[in-house]
Amino acid sequence: MRFQAVRIDTPSEWARRASNWARRPHTLALVPAVSLLAYFWGGELWLVASVVALQSVWLIVATRDDRRPSEPRRAPCRPVPRETVEATLNEGSGGALTSAALLLRLDDFDTLTAHHGELFIGALAEALTLRLGQGLRTQDAYCVLSDAKFAIALAPLRGTAVETVLAVAQRLQADLAKPFRYSGVTVWPSVSVGICLNPATARAAGLGMIEAAERAARIALNSGPGGVHSFSATDTAAPSAPALRAELRRALDNGEICAFFQPQVELASGAVSGMETLARWLHPERGLIPPAEFLPLIEAEGLSTRLAERMLRDGLATLNRLDAQGLVVPNVAVNLSAPELGNPQLADTIAWELDRHDLAPERLVLEIVETVVTHTDDDVLVKNVARLAALGCGIDLDDFGTGHASIANIRRFAVSRVKIDRSFVTHMHRDPDQRRMVAAILSMTGELGLQCVAEGIEAPEEASLLAKMGCEHGQGFGIARPMPATDLARWLRTQAAIRAGTGAAAIAEGERG
């Protein structure tokens, strides 16, 4: 014989059920119904009073909030000295508990400082520090390093998993990526994150966990803004500046420092409209060295002219090879800084290189940063740009909106296109202030008869909005990342097949050809 337990509700359980039933929205409709019933019944005074009292209790029960009061918001985690962060990491360096080191570095620190000044970057660093403190747990520790970098020690946990640390890193990136407004300027900061999970791996490379995480953050930046990288045994310590200086000339001569190419497209049609050369150092032992590490040394060693010559030759040679393969790229853009533009032989050298590679002058675009146009009084520089424009080369004004170039200077330098700086393009589909700034630039350039190239496009919504607003060209990671010349032909064939709707068969045929 089977017996089934019978549940007997206690009085408190009956009260809880009655309270829950009374809170249902439809039961409140019975309140006026009971009032009307008592009115039409015409009962004694005691009956009416009882009904009113019953309704009062009913309403109190229905509207009562039994939820516990919300806990007060915890105080943000405060930055501590670096020694405290290292001590937290050492606590988790052995045994069952393990810790993890994270290093967050602000992308485009130098550019933001140059464009907006020390006060702006100081206010931004302070805001990021506060956001980071609100995003970390009280048992975590973090410190502020130079150049808007932050070292973090996650509190020791039992078996820290890679997935858990990656989730923390991505959450912190999202917290720090919210828009920052200061003195009428809005930026959408992004940070690259380096992670070190294993202190033994860091020690084997002669590094502490923070130094290893910093090395990983530099590697993360190679993949673009907002990258994440975890330090491993293959990530050797970053080379010192003296070691890099000793190798720069050799790297320029033997082709280790070479041009990568970032395609530019017509935003309305998606057709390739050009490509920009970007310097990259492919070290035989250390791998890809970030431009931020070697470009300042190039300038300090007085090698900017040699680098520009390498970019020019690589760009024209690649354009010539693409023509031979039947892959049409209208032009290649090469960046020229003030030292190159001040070379009296520049125009003659470029004319000779164009002739040597059998290319028309209009196939070459020369990019000049807006700060050069704004501040120069060098007659040689002005004459060089005028000669190159007369030769037929295109002149692009780079980083527009950051150097306060006047309309007179735009005309003076025969600018044919303006490149809208990525700081205005980033998140413009979400930020009305960004859209208004871009609209103002497009309106002005349209009145001057100039075309625009939007830099730093990372989202399809940005490209679509720019096209609707009348921006002719665009480039950015959302379109294509910089790539070596060997990968460029494959990318062009793929894009041509996609636009033609011929699919993978056409791509495979192009590869065989």
* Active-site residue list: 455
CA–CA distance, 381 with 369 (Å, rounded to integer): 13
Helix (H) or strand (E) holding 281: strand 272-283
What are the structure tokens assigned to 258, written together?
């070479």
- C-alpha separations of 498 from 330, 387, 418, 488, 506 in Å: 19, 40, 29, 15, 9
Q: Letter for the amino acid at 224?
A: G
- C-alpha separations of 299 from 306, 388, 454 in Å: 10, 24, 27
Say if residues 332 and 316 touch (Cβ distance below 8 Å): yes
What are the structure tokens assigned to 237, written together?
């310590």
CA–CA distance, 472 with 466 (Å, rounded to integer): 8
Say if residues 222 and 290 touch (Cβ distance below 8 Å): yes
What are the structure tokens assigned to 400, written together?
């527009």
* HEC assignment per residue over 485-499: HHHHHHHHHHHHHHH
Residues in the chain: 513
Q: What phi-psi label fits residue 294: left (phi over 0), alpha (psi between -120 and 50 degrees) or beta? A: alpha
Alpha helix segments (H runs only) across 76-190: 82-91, 109-116, 118-135, 162-176
